[in-house]
Chain A
């Protein structure tokens, strides 16, 4: 009872999935609580008063918010099956890419999703440029960002393995083209085939439906 692990999540969230994967990769038992973000639970608001978001990890009654903070916590409390390199320099490189994905990746995604009529092509190019840097400098010739096995950097970039596809469909522009980004494309395939990942992926149809609704809702609202 004392060491119970609970995860408050929301099924379409890639941030929640990062935590799910980390817990499962380390074989950590946990209870999952699905939150309705349109109707947040008292518990969620108490655990994360600053952002009122998911994921929130609760360990032995103590809440931790923000997916990157949660991942570092998990790594420190359960160091087996490590998700970060041991060497401080290699760790700093991994953290650099995690930071880069969080910073630049997020704005590229936002532009792609919400970009207007003219904005779409430019947003797609911005996204492509971002992905090109990732492919050339973060991934290189490795199978995974973590080398021969996946690590935290792979979990962060997983957005591009599953969440970009419904977005590309919605916006009508394919960014992750195999001809333009061959190594990244291969990584997507390899990532989704990894045992734990394979069993824990969002349903693409359901995601597409969710994104479609989200986009039309926002666009129909008056400015």
Chain B
């Protein structure tokens, strides 16, 4: 790995999944080119690199495409092991715990996405309950990880769970603006709330967070038109 390394990320500015990869690359200090895709008019290159899912993110490393955000994160950690910090712990049991909770946070994201489907009111309330329940379980689970009150958030110690948490919950204010309900309640989830607040202050995270107004507009559009993203 040296001068000949060429890394290109095909993404979309508001995609949670793309943010995960952007963050991972920045945390590890891996230089990359970014290609913004218009998802309503996908590039021939994207369709060539991801013919099965036709989705972003796609990471292209020296011409070879890798798809699926969590698969990409594992690839990045394995390919650039000495670059900055490790995204996954060394110990196999700790790695298993991180992978378990990363998958759970993904499920939380899927619950949250349901809130933006313009269905009837009951479906909205059901989706909200489901999301709160998942957050409650996540809050409890994360308390095991962090024996102190709140996670110690250091730019040098960021890992996959930090990436998953901030990409999934980091835009909560924009979501609340559009939905008119709390999507991250500091009283119900003090640990998650303080963790997210600490993460979104970090310079590396600030670089990738989409502009508030732009995101609010998009979320409103999605809610009105029921686009699945």
A contacts, CB < 8 Å to B = 50, 59, 62, 64-66, 68-70, 72-73, 76-77, 88-89, 91-92, 95-96, 99-100, 133, 137
Query: In whole angstroms, how far apart are the Cα atoms of A137 and B53 in the complex?
Result: 12
Q: Do residues B103 and A73 form an inter-chain contact, with CB atoms below 8 A?
A: no
Q: Do residues A100 and B96 form an inter-chain contact, with CB atoms below 8 A?
A: no
Residues of B79-136 whose CB lies within 8 A of A? 79, 92-93, 95-96, 99-100, 103-104
Q: Do residues A65 and B100 form an inter-chain contact, with CB atoms below 8 A?
A: yes
Q: Do residues A100 and B52 form an inter-chain contact, with CB atoms below 8 A?
A: yes
Choose the segment among B13-21, B62-70, B177-185 that binds chain A (4+ C-beta atoms closer than 8 Å).
B62-70
Q: Do residues B104 and A50 form an inter-chain contact, with CB atoms below 8 A?
A: yes
Q: Do residues B137 and A92 form an inter-chain contact, with CB atoms below 8 A?
A: no
**Which residues does chain B contribute within 8 Å of A65, judged by CB atoms?**
100
Q: Do residues B75 and A91 form an inter-chain contact, with CB atoms below 8 A?
A: yes
B contacts, CB < 8 Å to A = 51-53, 61, 64, 66-68, 70-72, 74-75, 78-79, 92-93, 95-96, 99-100, 103-104, 137, 141
Q: Can you list the 5 inter-chain pairs with the closest CB atoms, starting with the nearest? A: A76-B92, A88-B78, A92-B75, A95-B71, A73-B96
Partner of A50, one of B53, B67, B137: B137
Query: In whole angstroms, how far apart are the Cα atoms of A99 and B104 in the complex?
Result: 14
A15 to chain B, nearest CB (A): 14
Query: In whole angstroms, how far apart are the Cα atoms of A106 and B70 in the complex?
Result: 18
Query: In whole angstroms, how far apart are the Cα atoms of A65 and B141 in the complex?
Result: 13
Known: A88-B78, A88-B79, A91-B78. A96 touches B93 (CB 8 A): no
Q: Do residues B93 and A64 form an inter-chain contact, with CB atoms below 8 A?
A: yes
